[in-house]
Structure 1
Amino acid sequence: MSAFLVVATLLTATPITLEETRQLGRKNTQALQAALDVAVAQEDQRVARSGLLPQVQLNLGPSLDYVGRRRQVFTVPISETETVTREVVATSNTADSYFASLGLSQVIYNRGLWKQLEQAGVNVDAVRNQAIEESDTSELEAIRRFFNLFLSQASLDVLKATAQRSEEQLERARALFTAGRVGKSEEIAARVNLGNDRINVVQRQNQLVADQVQLAVWLARPGTELLQAVDPGVLQQEPAPAPALDDAIKQAREHRALLKALQQRVQVAELQRAIVQGDYIPRVGLSARYSHNSQAPGPFFSEPGYGNIFNGGITLTWDLFNGFNTDAQSARAQVNIRKAELTFAQTARELEAEVRRSHQVLEGQIASAKLATDNRAVAQQGLALAEERFRAGAGSTLDVRDAQLKLTQAELVLLQSRIDVEIARYALFRAMGTLNPGDSQ
């Protein structure tokens, strides 16, 4: 009954291929967040460019002035030698006016702004390479979860085949007991073995559901969706050999996105120093402004030839002394350059070590897979011999059971080994930066 439920579950599941998994893995939540970081960096580049473009401001509107009561002293001459001083209390009053102005400013030379724009461009490239690194990480995790699901499916088939063999062994034990060739204990032992095999099937079904959930969630699909990993065909072919280690390390140096991003972080730090040191150099700017004013709305529109003011000029600004602030900022930038260089050098060493480790893991898994293939062949021969001896009355259910367990274990180990080979191969590609060759160009 449980085996029937397993089959029904797989029949209602949505099939998904390895290629679909890889594509969706590069679009999961983490990868999309990294892509949004690229969009933010691109907008920062636009902000840096805006300081070098013309700046135009338009001001337009009426204004109202209110003057309260006040004392005013007037001196009035009454002759050539005499004056009269009078103090007058003026009442409050209001006065309105209308104005419009148009201003234009343009940077002619500002080394700091140009370096800021260059820095923003390098930062976009660094963030883009970091996004590629995140996408590779997400894709590799999706591949791993896909193969885990496929392993559960294939293991479930092995366990169901073991249970089927146990059913056949139980029927043989019953027939031999009826014929008086074996004791009742052989039938009882065969029945217990069958029960244990069915329990293993049910427990593997639980693992299958867990693997379905993990893959679905990572691919940003509903956690309730049933997925079925389509056979990628790796079990029907011999594993390809690992690439040469020297070539793998060379590929990593040329294509690993993280190395490119860290190189660009060094450039960003160097440009930050250039931005700070731009304060040592004079800055030149151009400004122009036109304004039109009037005390009443009528003349403001009807007499455009009156109340006009135009001014413009070129300004040179040079910070001759700012309390050694520029020196301090420059020294700080130099320290950040050194830190970025150290981070790059250490990461380069770690990536080479990662490539070597991944390469060794792949070679080891390939060797293990070959040994597992030989073990399965021997276990198949052992089971065939044990069953033949049992039919002939020379063996026991215990002998057959032992051979069955050895074959089941050999088949499960072979499955795990072949899956581990594929995961190790993709892990090596990821370490080399060639998991998605199109992104590394």
Structure 2
Amino acid sequence: MKNHIHNLLQNNPMSLKQYYIFFVLVVFAFAKAYSQETPSKVLSKEEAVSLMLENNFGIKLANNQVEISENNTSILNADYLPTVTGNAGANFDRTTSNTDFGGALNQEGVPRPDIEIVGAETTRYNASINLDYTLFDGLGRYYNYKQLKEQYNLTQLQARETIENTMLQLFSVYYEVARLKENVIILEEALRVSKDREVRAQYQFEYGQVNKLQVLNAKVDITTDSINVLNARQNLQNAQRDLNVVLNRDLENKFQADTTVTFVNKLLMDSHIEQALQNNVTLLQSEKDIMISDYQIKTARALFLPTVGLTGSYGWNLSNNPASAFFPSTTSTSNSLAAGATLRWNLFDGGRSIIALKNAKIFRENQELAKEQLKQQVQRDIANAKGNYKNALAIYEMQTQNVRTNQDNFERSQEQLKLGQISSIEFRQAQLNLLNAEVTKNAAKYTAKLAELQLLQLTGQLLNVAF
């Protein structure tokens, strides 16, 4: 092979040039084919949300807590039904006895003999069913049932907050995947341009139009762009694994993110902001806490009232008694039915009920104070999020215009490079300016979208809008 190339060099230089160019093109073609990733299925935003709701561990735990609270609201847990207990018992006794009459005489004047009873067995059986029912307990169980209902509603709000937080986490990673994918495309295009420039520079060098420095500059730029592409692809794969963790899927599950981003209409967003205090999930939880505190106060007051209840029982007894020295064996059976009413009034319990009521009132007051403090914080967070969102949108619009400007500049620089009116260094600078502008625009786009999602969460509308 070396001799063949040497002969070409000595006898036909133009053939060697053609061979070199052909070799470079073939290498580039194979490199491009090797570098292309296997096409992956696009994971839509709706599919991502569905997988999150179905698989995410945090959401599963929250849903289980909701189910527990729902079970607690059942009438079976509210003390409204009577209690019925059954009791049964059995006793067995085996006795050996000896009765000595101490020389006493019978009717015939003969001393009475001792009476020995061996293995006398006594058996007793009993069974009963008892019923207790509280007719009135000062409305304590009624307010306790209401409290359980509000606790269930509170748990639902807590689950909703978990879903909203997880959704923000999901889209922060999802949009990171989308951003990195777009960056890979941008960097691959920059690498393609650098490769084309290297081929053109090699042609020009072979024909004496440029010096070797132009070729070397192009090669250096290819190396830099290739490294950038490799790093971007690795970052993309890492982000894909992060998203698979949120979705609780196989870490190596390959997919692409939807890079389409739409923003909520301004008028609709303003409407959401106006109703934020009525829909914010944190404030809604605070209101539920206050309602639960109200029922706790009423439950504490119920301790001062009497409790009226009904009782009833049915019993059965069977007793088998063996014969004794004086009596024959007997068997007795009895049945009993009883019913009654009870009144219990705790007139004084040492003051514990009074303290419980006072503490319940103080706790309720604390819940009110916490709500006011939380309301102020939410208003601040909404104002900050609104400002951040508007600022992010403005930056995105500016970066979009900046990309257009740099695109025009790059295209003109490309034409001037072909005409030899600018150096490769000047062209490279135009290329880098466009590259940086496109990457910055992508970051601004997804930053604006995440700022919008954060604002939607604060207004309580994150789960009610399309993505």
Q: What do residues 304-341 of structure 1 show as CA deviations (whole Å, max 9, x unaligned)? A: x9511122111111111111011111122122212222
Amino acid of the structure 2 residue aligned with 1:288? G
1:179 is displaced (CA, Å) by 3.0
Match of 1:201 in 2: 229
Contact 1:242 1:359 survives alignment (8 Å): no
Using the TM superposition, name which of 210-219 and 418-427 deviates more: 418-427
1:172 is displaced (CA, Å) by 2.1
2:342 aligned counterpart, secondary structure:
strand
1:14 is displaced (CA, Å) by 3.9
Equivalent residues in 2 for 1:404-415 (5 A)? 404-415=431-442
Describe the shift of the 1:331–1:4 C-alpha distance in structure 2 as closer, same or farther (beyond 3 A).
farther
The structure 1 residue matched to 2:162, chosen from 122, 130, 134, is: 134
2:454 pairs with 1:418: no
1:5 is displaced (CA, Å) by 4.8
1:389 is displaced (CA, Å) by 2.2
The structure 1 residue matched to 2:412, chosen from 378, 382, 385, is: 385
2:426 pairs with 1:402: no
Where in structure 1 are there 5+ consecutive unaligned residues? 73-89, 298-304
Contact 1:126 1:264 survives alignment (8 Å): yes
Q: What do residues 62-103 of structure 1 show as CA deviations (whole Å, max 9, x unaligned)? A: 421559999x9xxxxxxxxxxxxxxxxx99976321112111
2:337 aligned counterpart, secondary structure:
strand
Contact 1:23 1:139 survives alignment (8 Å): no
The structure 2 residue matched to 1:151, chosen from 179, 190, 195, is: 179
Amino acid of the structure 1 residue aligned with 2:271? D
1:193 is displaced (CA, Å) by 0.3
- Distance in 1 between the 2:320 and 2:167 partners? 70
2:377 pairs with 1:353: no
The structure 1 residue matched to 2:277, chosen from 249, 253, 262, is: 253
Match of 1:33 in 2: 61
The structure 1 residue matched to 2:304, chosen from 280, 291, 316, is: 280
Q: What do residues 193-241 of structure 1 show as CA deviations (whole Å, max 9, x unaligned)? A: 011000000000110111100111101112121222134x33xx7x555
Describe the shift of the 1:421–1:6 C-alpha distance in structure 2 as closer, same or farther (beyond 3 A).
farther
The structure 2 residue matched to 1:173, chosen from 201, 212, 220, is: 201
2:118 pairs with 1:118: no
Match of 2:37 in 1: 8
The structure 2 residue matched to 1:56, chosen from 68, 80, 84, is: 84
2:358 pairs with 1:336: no
Describe the shift of the 1:171–1:429 C-alpha distance in structure 2 as closer, same or farther (beyond 3 A).
same
2:290 pairs with 1:266: yes
- Distance in 1 between the 2:288 and 2:357 partners? 19
1:223 aligned counterpart, secondary structure:
coil
Describe the shift of the 1:205–1:369 C-alpha distance in structure 2 as closer, same or farther (beyond 3 A).
same
Match of 2:133 in 1: 106
Describe the shift of the 1:148–1:3 C-alpha distance in structure 2 as closer, same or farther (beyond 3 A).
farther
Contact 2:62 2:158 survives alignment (8 Å): yes
Contact 2:190 2:435 survives alignment (8 Å): yes
Match of 1:76 in 2: none
- Distance in 2 between the 1:67 and 1:282 partners? 50
- Distance in 1 between the 2:61 and 2:279 partners? 22
Match of 1:217 in 2: 245
Q: What do residues 255-278 of structure 1 show as CA deviations (whole Å, max 9, x unaligned)? A: 222222221111112211221221
The structure 1 residue matched to 2:191, chosen from 155, 158, 163, is: 163
Describe the shift of the 1:3–1:175 C-alpha distance in structure 2 as closer, same or farther (beyond 3 A).
closer
2:398 pairs with 1:374: no
1:8 aligned counterpart, secondary structure:
coil
Using the TM superposition, name which of 148-157 and 17-26 deviates more: 17-26
Root-mean-square deviation over aligned CA pairs: 2.8
Using the TM superposition, name which of 49-58 and 410-419 deviates more: 49-58
- Distance in 2 between the 1:102 and 1:364 partners? 74
Describe the shift of the 1:2–1:291 C-alpha distance in structure 2 as closer, same or farther (beyond 3 A).
farther
Amino acid of the structure 2 residue aligned with 1:426? L
Where in structure 2 are there 5+ consecutive unaligned residues? 1-29, 100-116, 322-331
Match of 2:8 in 1: none
Describe the shift of the 1:331–1:91 C-alpha distance in structure 2 as closer, same or farther (beyond 3 A).
farther
Describe the shift of the 1:48–1:278 C-alpha distance in structure 2 as closer, same or farther (beyond 3 A).
farther
Amino acid of the structure 2 residue aligned with 1:8? E
1:249 is displaced (CA, Å) by 3.2
1:436 aligned counterpart, secondary structure:
helix
Q: What do residues 281-301 of structure 1 show as CA deviations (whole Å, max 9, x unaligned)? A: 01111111111111149xxxx
Q: What do residues 117-175 of structure 1 show as CA deviations (whole Å, max 9, x unaligned)? A: 11111110111111111111111211221111111111100000000011111122222
Q: What do residues 345-384 of structure 1 show as CA deviations (whole Å, max 9, x unaligned)? A: 2222222222222211211111111111111111112112
2:352 pairs with 1:325: yes
Describe the shift of the 1:35–1:378 C-alpha distance in structure 2 as closer, same or farther (beyond 3 A).
same
Amino acid of the structure 1 residue aligned with 2:443? Q
Describe the shift of the 1:204–1:358 C-alpha distance in structure 2 as closer, same or farther (beyond 3 A).
same
1:368 aligned counterpart, secondary structure:
helix
Equivalent residues in 2 for 1:174-193 (5 A)? 174-193=202-221
Q: Which protein has the larger Cα radius of gyration, Structure 1 or Structure 2?
A: 2
Using the TM superposition, name which of 321-330 and 381-390 deviates more: 381-390
Task: Give the TM-score normalised by structure 2.
Answer: 0.81
- Distance in 2 between the 1:265 and 1:169 partners? 68
Task: Give the TM-score normalised by structure 1.
Answer: 0.86
Contact 2:181 2:236 survives alignment (8 Å): yes
1:393 is displaced (CA, Å) by 2.0
